Chain A
Amino acid sequence: MAKKPKKKKEPLPPISSWGHIVALAWLLPGGGHFIQKRHGRGAILAGAVVLTFLFGIFMRGTMFEPRTGDLLTTVIYVGGFLGNLASGILYLLSNWLGYAQADVAGHVHDYGTKFLVAAGLMNVLAMVDAFEIAAGRKS
């Protein structure tokens, strides 16, 4: 049977063409789309990330702080911190305004913590999408 031809890896465009867009997409959820005139998609992404983050705050979720120890502790706390940090200005603002929720038992708080991390992870997807548009891989 004939082998499928390997898909050629596309070369990475120069960082000057997408670096500022990805940085803006991180700082302002949906910003990477707005600056590239994808207003509809930008609005949906911004709305989803902001709503998820606010729901997380209203459910009194906990923000992760990087902590190391055994492998599982490191993965959970450093990963959680990076997830929180990926929300951009939302995370920075909540920190600056003094949001500090202790980790308490209860399913609502627990969902809140997950919502806060999920907001950051959704923003990562938005950043990747903004990069692909800037790199010309997507319309």
Chain B
Amino acid sequence: MPTMSLSHFEATLLFALVISAVLGVTGRKTDRERLVYGLRCFGYFLVTVVGLGWLMYFGHR
């Protein structure tokens, strides 16, 4: 069986990508709204991940 070994960032990015797609599809009513909402969710995930990453970096200094 193939195995995967991802870094924290890669795993979180992958997670954000699939979750955003599902939230976009299920969360809005028109295709355009779905696309915008999915992209917005992905953006929020990215900002949160990078923000928390820096917070932990400074917290451990």
Chain A residues engaging chain B, CB cutoff 8 angstroms: 41, 44-45, 48-49, 51-52, 55, 57-60, 107-108, 111, 114-115, 118, 122, 125-126, 128-129, 138-139
Contacts and interface: CB of A to CB of B under 8 A. Distances in A.
A24 to B, nearest CB: 16
29 contacts: A44-B21, A45-B22, A45-B25, A48-B18, A48-B22, A52-B15, A52-B18, A55-B4, A57-B1, A58-B1, A58-B3, A58-B4, A59-B3, A59-B4, A59-B11, A107-B8, A107-B11, A108-B6, A111-B6, A114-B15, A115-B11, A118-B18, A122-B18, A125-B22, A125-B26, A126-B26, A128-B26, A129-B26, A139-B29
Interface residues of B, number: 18
Nearest to A44: B25
> Chain B interface secondary structure, helix, strand, loop or mixed?
helix
B2 interface: yes
B3 A55 contact: no
Contacts of A52: 15, 18
Contact of A118 (B3, B5, B19): B19
